[in-house]
Homo-oligomer: A and B are copies of this chain.
Amino acid sequence: MAAGGPPVLVVTRLDDATADQVITELNRRRVPVVRLDPGDFPREVVLSGTFDSTGTSGTLATASRRIDLGNVRSVYWRRPTPHTADLAMDEQTGRWAVEEARYGLGGILTALPGAYYLNHPWRNRDAEYKPAQLATAAACGFTVPPTLITNDPDRARAFAAEHGPVLYKPLRETEYTDGTGRPLTVWIEDVTPDQIDSRVIHTAHLFQQRVGKSADIRLTAVGDHLTAVRIDRSPGVDWRRHYDVLAYTPVPVPPVVATGVRAYLGAFRLTFGAFDFGLDRDGVWHWYECNPNGQWAWFPDRITIPLTHAIADRLQHGAPV
């Protein structure tokens, strides 16, 4: 194994079981790793980034480590905490300081010269918009359930009547996880036409035809390394509420799905994606969503170990040529 060389920069919060697994593997390979939470800036991080016609240089120093900004091997962008203002500041100054931190340190971290990103944070941010996910999934040839985004109660009721049973899904994923890296979120719920009332006018709502599914599938992509797991025994529509009773079975990826995944990752310029599908009784994979920064560390070891290796391979060596 190669030892030493430029470090992998892992951008995340203290509590991130998923990042921990990858860091352990990189340590085993003796690849240098620096862990950074941008939310610790400016209190516990000293930044000195310099730019001129020759490019970027300078350093970023935490309590224990010092990073040469011109010599970062790769960046594993996970779940940093947001910048917060010094409590001693008045509100307006605090807002200004947070914005300067976000555009200053945040900007530097997005443009490290020659670094490989898994994923680049701008690409994650783009790929989090569900309407863009749905439009891109259709363009990539996936089977997309009829979906409506609206603030019109009449349209919502008509859609539920025509395409029911339908589900309500939040448009925005939350970032919360439990201690083991399992995602917590606003749940997906069944909704009937009579439950749709005038409150729909207050913002955008997403309604989607419920797939007549026999199981769920989570496909985790690390470039062309695809890991599809069939998830059975979920007693409700949203398996994320029921981790402890789920059964996981690795399944092969149909070529049409693999082709779609490749096109989708290319469209958003992602390396990593956590794709959710519903599997119907005819074996068709129905598109639900792709979380560009999804969790995977809660799977059993037989699934997470190869995933950890695939991610560590990319962070150590960059994209395969």
Contact = CB atoms under 8 A, between A and B. Distances in A.
A49 B104 CA distance: 37
Interface string A145-164: 11111111001000100000
B131 A49 contact: yes
Given A48-B152, A126-B122, A135 B56 contact: yes
A134 B170 CA distance: 37
A100 B171 contact: yes
Interface in A166-218: 170-172, 201-206
Contact of A129 (B45, B101, B110, B172): B110
A303 interface: no
A244 to B, nearest CB: 28
A155 B51 contact: no
B203 A52 contact: no
Contacts of A54: 138
A165 interface: no
A238 interface: no
Contacts of A266: none
Nearest to A45: B151
B42 A151 contact: yes
Interface in A201-251: 201-206
Interface string A111-136: 10100000000100110111110111
A46 interface: yes
Contact of A53 (B113, B142, B170): B142
Interface residues of A, number: 68
Contact of A55 (B99, B128, B139): B139
Contact of A138 (B56, B134, B150): B56
Nearest to A206: B104
Contact of A150 (B48, B97, B106, B132): B48
A298 interface: no
A34 interface: no
A96 B52 CA distance: 42
Nearest to A103: B171
Contacts of A205: 100, 104
Contact of A111 (B136, B142, B143): B136
Given A104-B205, A149-B104, A99 B46 contact: no
A101 B51 contact: no
A170 B113 CA distance: 23
A157 to B, nearest CB: 12
Given A41-B151, A100-B172, A131-B107, A52 B126 contact: no
A89 interface: yes
Given A49-B148, A147-B50, A204 B113 contact: no
A152 to B, nearest CB: 5
Interface of A: 41-42, 45-56, 58, 86, 89, 96-108, 110-111, 113, 122, 125-126, 128-132, 134-136, 138-139, 142-152, 155, 159, 170-172, 201-206
